Amino acid sequence: MVSRRHGIFGSTTFAALVLTLALAGCSSDNYQAAPTAGGDRDPSASRNGALGPGGSGANLFSGNAEKGGSEGSVAVNAFLWRASLDTISFMPLASADPFGGVIISDWYAPPETPDERFKVNVYILGRMLRADGLKVSVFRQQRNAAGSWNDVTVGPEVAVEFENAVLSQARELRLRAVAQTD
C-alpha cells in the first residue's frame, strides 16, 4: 500500500525542498577553483579519466585542501550524480542522498497512460565515472478495474536503457568540464 503525502509537503513541494537544500549545501567559503590550463592541473586526471583528487569528478563540497580535499566531499562521482538527476528530472523525487549516492523517485504516471505508473531508484556506486558505477532499478504498476495498483514485471532492458542514458549524459558533462578548463 502506498501512502500519499498531502499538505505543505506534497511530492512537488518536497522535491523542490530537497533540491533547494542540496543546492544550498554547494555554497561554501572554501570553494576550490577548477584547474586552469597552466601547470596546476591534476596529473591524475589524464590517467584515470576523471577530474580532481581521487578521480571523483567535480568536488561539489570542497574539503580541507591539506587532506586532498576529501574531507566533506561527495562520496560519489559528481558527473554521474548530476546526470542521474537530469535524466530523472521529469519524475518527482522521493529522496536524494548525494553522500550515499541514492536517488529515489516517487511514482510517476505519464499523462498519455494514467493507469500506469513508474518509479526509479538510482544507485551510484563509486567515485569513478564507469559503467559499473551505476545501478538503476525500474518499477511499474498498473491500475486494475477496482482502482488499486498491481505490480507489473519490467524487463531488464528498461534499466539498461536508463543506465545508458545517464552514462551518456555524464560523459557529455565531463567533456564540457574538460573543455572549459582547456
pTM score above 0.75: no
Length of the chain: 182
**Per-residue pLDDT reduced to its tens digit, 135-179:** 999 999 999 999 999 999 999 999 999 999 999 999 999 999 999
Give the range among 23-37, 79-93, 128-142, 162-176 with minimum mean pLDDT.
23-37
d(CA 128, CA 134): 10
**Mean local confidence (pLDDT), 12-36:** 38
Cβ neighbors of 147 (< 8 A, separation 6 or more) are: none
DSSP structure class, residue 174: H
Q: What is the pLDDT of residues 57-82, one digit of tens each?
A: 444 444 443 433 344 556 799 999 99
Neighbours of 163 (CB within 10 A): 19
